[in-house]
Amino acid sequence: MRAPQGEEEDSAFEIVRFAINADEEALERDRARDGWVGHPPWLMWFCGEHLALGKELADLHWREAGERLRTDRR
């Protein structure tokens, strides 16, 4: 998702989806089937400044990616 037209790029945010394990995949399917609405932890919002880093880590499990994001302060 991007910022509305006319807003500066620095205020734009985008969701990055990180990898999940088999149990989390099953949970996601169950939630989708049941019409669950919410924000799972493997989807994270990133501002324009940190979006590239988030995308670099998207292939990692969300817990590992989160840990790296906390320690890598580019």
State pLDDT tens for residues 25-73: 999 999 999 999 888 999 999 999 999 999 999 999 999 999 999 987 6
Nearest-angstrom CA–CA distance, 46 and 52:
9
Q: Domain of 52? A: 14-21+41-73
57 in any annotated domain: yes
Total tally of structural domains belonging to the chain: 1
* Domain annotation covers residue 9: no
Domain assignment present for residue 31? The answer is: no
Taking the C-alpha atoms of residue 55 and residue 73, their distance in angstroms, rounded to an integer, is 15
| Residue 64, in any domain of the structure | yes
> Long-range CB contacts (< 8 A, 24+ apart) of 56-64?
57/16, 57/18, 58/16, 58/17, 58/18, 58/19, 59/19, 60/18, 60/19, 61/18, 61/19, 61/20, 61/21, 62/18, 62/19, 62/20
Please check whether residue 34 lies inside any domain of the structure: no
Q: Is residue 7 one of the residues assigned to a domain? A: no
Confidence of residue 1 (pLDDT cuts 50, 70, 90): very low
- Residue 26 belongs to some domain of the structure: no
